[in-house]
C-alpha cells in the first residue's frame, strides 16, 4: 500500500511479523475495521494482536454511496462509544488510487473516482485509511494468520470471483497504477466463459464459487444421472444450485459434487502455476467462501500446480495453504493497516510503520 507522504514518517520500514504486540503486554491502540460487502457492512474493534473485541453488522443499503457512508458513521459511532478508537480502516472490493485517497471504481457500490478518505475523515473526525478488501485480507493473514514469517506471498480469495493480493517484503504491492493483484482476470481460456469484466476466459470464471455453481447448474440442466444428488439437495430446482450448495454436498461426500470441486481445484492450480512463473512467491494462501471446501479443492490444486509449473523438478515449489482467519480477515486487515499506518502512537520497539 502507498499512502500520502505526510502520513508516513518512514515508508521503508514495515510492521513486525509476527506482531511485536504478541510479545508485550503494554496497552495497544485500537482501530475499527470496516468491511463493505455486496450485502453486509461489518464493523469491528480490533486490537494489536488482531483480535476482534466487538463487532456490528448492517445490511448494505443498496448502491447509494451516501447511505453507505451514513451506515459507516453510525457503526463507528456505536463502537467508539465503548472503545478508545484512534483510526478507522475501510475495505471494499474495487480499485483504490495509489495515494489511498480515492475509490476509483467499486463493483458493488456507486463510488466512481470518489474522494472517500477525505469524506470519511471529516464525517468520522479520525484518521481513515481506505483499502481494497483483498489487500486487507492479505495483510491480516500475513500479520496474524497463515502468512506469518513469509516475506513474499500471494493471497487469493475465492468467492463470487477471485480477489488477489501480492505481498513483497511486508507490504502489499499495488503496481504502478494501483491495479496490481487482479489475478482473477488473467485469461486462462481464450474464447471461454464471458466475465463481468467484459473479456472471455478469465481465471475467475473457472476457479471461483460462481464457477462451481455454474458447473453444477449446467450438469443438472442436462438431466445427467450424475446430477441426481445435486438436484435432490435443491428439490429439483437447478437454479438453486450455487457454489455453496455444491461445496456443502462435496464435504458431505456426494461424488459428483466432489468431482466438481476437484475440477475447480484443477483450474486453481493451473492459474497458480502461471502466477508462480511470473512472481515466484513461496506461499499461496487460499481464502474466501470457497476455501470451505478445504483439501477437496486444495489437493487437486497442488497437483495441477506441480503438473504445470515451469521448471518443475528443478526448482523449489511454493506451499498452497488454506487461510486461517476466515471471513473476518478483511475487517481485521483494514483495522490493522489503519492502526499501524495512521495510529498516533509509535510502533512498539520504535519501528515506524
Ligand atoms: Zn475478467
191/95 same-domain check:
no
60/122 same-domain check:
yes
The model's pTM: 0.86
- State yes or no: pLDDT of 120 exceeds 60: yes
Distance CA 91, CA 86 (A): 17
160/298 same-domain check:
yes
Distance CA 24, CA 22 (A): 6
> pLDDT per residue over 137-193, tens digit each?
999 999 999 999 999 999 999 988 999 999 999 899 999 988 899 999 999 999 999
> Ligand 1 center to residue 82 CA distance, Å?
43
> Ligand 1 center to residue 335 CA distance, Å?
29
Structural domains of the chain, count = 2
> Ligand 1 center to residue 69 CA distance, Å?
28
- State yes or no: pLDDT of 3 exceeds 80: no
> Ligand 1 center to residue 273 CA distance, Å?
18
10/81 same-domain check:
yes
160/204 same-domain check:
yes
Residue 347 lies in a domain: no
> Ligand 1 center to residue 155 CA distance, Å?
18
In the chain, alpha helices (H)? 65-80, 116-124, 133-144, 209-221, 228-233, 243-251, 255-279, 295-308, 329-342
266/279 same-domain check:
yes
Residue 345 lies in a domain: no
Domain encompassing residue 232: 149-323
74/162 same-domain check:
no
266/155 same-domain check:
yes
> Ligand 1 center to residue 197 CA distance, Å?
4
> Ligand 1 center to residue 211 CA distance, Å?
13
Average pLDDT over residues 78-97: 93
Q: How confident is the model at residue 65 (pLDDT cuts 50, 70, 90)?
A: confident
Residue 350 lies in a domain: no
Residue 96 lies in a domain: yes
What are the cell numbers at 228?
A: 441426481
- State yes or no: pLDDT of 279 exceeds 80: yes
> Ligand 1 center to residue 201 CA distance, Å?
7
Residue 126 lies in a domain: yes
Of the two residues 292 and 12, the one the predictor is more confident about is: 292
> Ligand 1 center to residue 187 CA distance, Å?
7
176/133 same-domain check:
no
Residue 352 lies in a domain: no
CATH number of the structural domain spanning residue 205: 3.30.420.40
> Ligand 1 center to residue 68 CA distance, Å?
26
Amino acid at each position: 500500500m502507498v499512502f500520502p507522504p505526510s502520513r508516513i514518517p518512514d515508508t521503508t520500514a514495515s510492521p513486525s511479523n509476527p506482531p511485536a504486540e504478541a510479545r508485550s503486554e503494554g496497552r495497544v491502540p485500537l482501530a475499527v475495521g470496516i468491511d463493505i460487502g455486496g450485502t453486509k457492512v461489518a464493523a469491528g474493534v480490533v486490537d494489536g494482536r488482531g483480535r476482534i473485541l466487538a463487532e456490528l453488522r448492517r445490511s448494505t443499503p443498496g448502491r447509494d454511496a451516501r447511505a453507505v457512508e451514513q451506515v459507516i458513521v453510525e457503526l463507528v459511532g456505536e463502537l467508539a462509544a465503548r472503545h478508545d478508537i484512534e483510526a478507522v480502516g475501510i475495505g471494499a472490493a474495487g480499485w483504490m488510487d495509489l495515494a489511498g485517497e480515492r475509490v476509483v471504481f467499486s463493483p458493488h457500490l456507486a463510488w466512481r473516482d470518489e474522494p472517500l478518505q477525505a469524506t470519511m475523515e471529516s464525517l468520522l473526525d479520525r484518521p481513515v485509511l481506505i483499502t481494497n478488501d483483498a489487500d486487507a485480507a492479505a495483510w491480516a493473514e500475513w500479520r496474524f494468520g497463515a502468512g506469518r514469517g513469509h516475506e513474499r506471498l500471494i493471497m487469493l480469495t475465492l468467492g463470487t470471483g477471485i480477489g488477489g493480493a501480492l505481498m513483497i517484503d511486508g507490504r502489499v504491492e499495488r503496481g504502478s497504477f494501483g491495479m496490481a493483484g487482479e489475478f482473477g482476470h488473467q485469461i486462462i481460456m481464450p474464447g471461454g466463459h464471458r466475465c463481468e469484466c467484459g473479456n472471455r476466459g478469465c481465471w475467475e470464471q473457472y476457479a471461483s464459487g460462481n464457477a462451481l455453481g455454474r458447473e453444477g447448474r449446467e450438469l443438472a440442466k442436462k438431466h445427467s444421472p450424475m446430477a441426481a444428488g445435486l438436484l435432490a439437495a435443491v428439490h429439483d430446482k437447478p437454479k438453486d444450485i450455487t457454489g455453496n450448495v455444491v461445496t456443502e454436498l462435496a464435504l458431505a461426500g456426494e461424488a459428483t459434487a466432489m468431482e466438481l470441486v476437484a475440477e475447480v481445484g484443477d483450474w486453481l492450480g493451473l492459474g497458480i502455476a502461471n502466477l508462480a512463473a511470473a512472481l515466484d512467491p513461496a506461499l499461496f494462501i487460499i481464502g474466501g467462501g470457497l476455501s470451505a471446501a478445504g483439501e477437496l479443492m486444495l489437493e487437486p490444486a497442488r497437483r495441477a500446480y506441480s503438473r504445470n509449473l515451469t521448471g518443475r523438478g528443478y526448482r523449489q515449489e511454493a506451499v498452497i495453504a488454506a487461510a486461517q482467519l476466515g471471513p473476518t480477515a478483511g475487517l481485521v486487515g483494514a483495522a490493522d493497516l489503519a492502526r499501524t499506518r495512521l495510529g498516533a502512537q509509535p510502533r512498539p520497539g520504535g519501528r515506524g510503520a
